[in-house]
């Protein structure tokens, strides 16, 4: 599974990979409103080509793709949006290297999340200093504006009583204050969800196209280190403390760690579905219900935590995968 040591120029067929990667990199900067969401899937081709071509050729491919996309973004789109899209590149590199090296998915995923958050903070800091803006404050202002607009819409509804309108106003004000407090936790959840989804899709693509080079276990066997439960306990205690600063920090950490156990809960549920031989269409339906329901987040996170002590259909590994 080691790196291929080819050091020659990228072969003609390799340019198809260069162009594909460059297109995915540049599209969000040209049509941000319509295709901005594609930024989140940039790591997938990076991961795939790293595994299929090896480190040397993948490095050449990535350099060519970034230069090509950067030139196109400078001419036809927003270069700042292109640079932000490039913040996703380390995630693809980390996932691809982890598959090549046989590193455990939880360990690789946690490292990718940490790097992604650091790169995002660095980008926003540099971008803010260059443009004399505060991207984080602009994000909060945008959330405030959306909630205010929703409140104004209800205020014009003639079918609502004055009491209802007052309750809605108070609720929206509480939501505005809450969102400002938990914005860091929501940002961490965004990074976690982005990395988790790319790991799943990357593994699926490798298993489908390069099964002989797949080194990761099935998703249902992914497990986070058991020591993570102490962070849940500590942040939970902080979240109920009367001290404002400690309370806010505890809530944000609890949200982020809760997202991790939510993902582990999905893995446990997938394991149970396989054990019970639930038909795949029914699995998709039940997953959708569990994920889309508000209570589903808490239920799946609790299931993920329970997996620490309960063997759901398969024996526990002798060694924690995240510590390998």
Report, in angstroms and rounded to the nearest whole number, the Rg of the chain calculated over CA atoms.
22
Q: How confident is the model at residue 316 (pLDDT cuts 50, 70, 90)?
A: low
Residue 13 has pLDDT above 80, yes or no: no
Looking from the CA of 311 toward its CB, the CA atoms found within 13 Å total: 6
Residue 5 has pLDDT above 60, yes or no: no
Residue 259 has pLDDT above 80, yes or no: yes
Tens of pLDDT, residue by residue over 54-109, are: 999 999 999 999 999 999 999 999 999 999 999 999 999 999 999 999 999 999 99
The whole-number pLDDT of residue 123 equals 95
The predicted model gives 174-202 an average pLDDT of: 93
Query: Which range among 40-49, 191-200, 234-243 shows the weakest confidence by mean pLDDT?
Result: 234-243
Domain ranges, ordered by start, for the chain? 1-136+182-216, 219-324
Q: Which tokens go with 265?
A: 């809960």
Distances (CA, A) of 248 to 143, 175, 209, 254, 297: 18, 15, 45, 10, 20
- The more confidently predicted of residues 147 and 75 is 75
- Mean of all residue pLDDT scores within the chain: 87
The whole-number pLDDT of residue 311 equals 67
Tell the residue number behind the tokens 């067929």, with chain if given. Answer: 13
Question: Distance (Å, rounded) from C-alpha 76 to C-alpha 29?
Answer: 8
Q: How confident is the model at residue 257 (pLDDT cuts 50, 70, 90)?
A: very high
Tell the residue number behind the tokens 């260069």, with chain if given. Answer: 18
The predicted model gives 9-19 an average pLDDT of: 69
The whole-number pLDDT of residue 312 equals 67
Residue 14 has pLDDT above 80, yes or no: no
The predicted model gives 134-161 an average pLDDT of: 84
Q: How confident is the model at residue 318 (pLDDT cuts 50, 70, 90)?
A: very low
How many other β-carbons are positioned within 10 Å of the β-carbon of residue 71? 14
Taking the model in full, what pTM does it have?
0.86
Question: Distance (Å, rounded) from C-alpha 184 to C-alpha 190?
Answer: 10
Q: How far is CA 277 from the centre of its chain?
A: 29
Q: How confident is the model at residue 324 (pLDDT cuts 50, 70, 90)?
A: very low
The whole-number pLDDT of residue 291 equals 80
Distances (CA, A) of 120 to 31, 84, 89: 21, 8, 12
């Amino acid at each position: 599974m080691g790196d291929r040591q080819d050091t020659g120029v990228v072969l003609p067929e390799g340019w198809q990979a260069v162009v594909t990667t460059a297109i995915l990199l540049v599209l969000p900067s040209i049509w941000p409103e319509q295709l901005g969401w594609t930024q989140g899937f940039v790591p997938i081709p990076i991961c795939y080509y790293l595994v299929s071509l090896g480190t040397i050729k993948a490095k050449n491919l990535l350099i060519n793709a970034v230069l090509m996309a950067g030139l196109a973004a400078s001419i036809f789109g927003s270069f700042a949006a292109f640079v932000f899209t490039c913040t996703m590149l380390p995630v693809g590199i980390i996932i691809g290297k982890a598959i090549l090296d046989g590193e455990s998915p939880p360990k690789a995923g946690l490292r990718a999340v940490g790097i992604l958050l650091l790169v995002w903070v660095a980008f926003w800091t540099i971008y803010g200093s260059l443009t004399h803006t505060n991207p984080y404050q602009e994000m909060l202002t945008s959330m405030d504006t959306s909630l205010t607009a929703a409140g104004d819409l209800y205020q014009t509804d003639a079918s609502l009583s004055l009491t209802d309108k007052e309750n809605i106003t108070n609720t929206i004000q509480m939501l505005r204050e809450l969102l400002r407090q938990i914005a860091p936790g929501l940002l961490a959840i965004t990074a976690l969800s982005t990395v988790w989804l790319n790991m799943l899709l990357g593994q699926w693509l490798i298993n489908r196209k390069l099964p002989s080079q797949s080194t990761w276990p099935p998703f249902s066997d992914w497990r986070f280190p058991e020591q993570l439960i102490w962070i849940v306990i500590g942040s939970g205690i902080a979240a109920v403390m009367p001290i404002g600063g400690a309370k806010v920090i505890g809530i944000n950490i609890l949200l982020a760690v809760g997202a991790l156990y939510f993902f582990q809960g999905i893995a446990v549920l997938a394991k149970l579905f396989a054990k019970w031989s639930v038909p795949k269409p029914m699995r998709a339906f039940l997953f959708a219900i569990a994920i889309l329901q508000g209570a589903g987040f808490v239920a799946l996170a609790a299931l993920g935590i329970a997996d620490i002590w309960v063997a759901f259909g398969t024996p526990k590994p002798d060694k924690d995968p995240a510590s390998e």
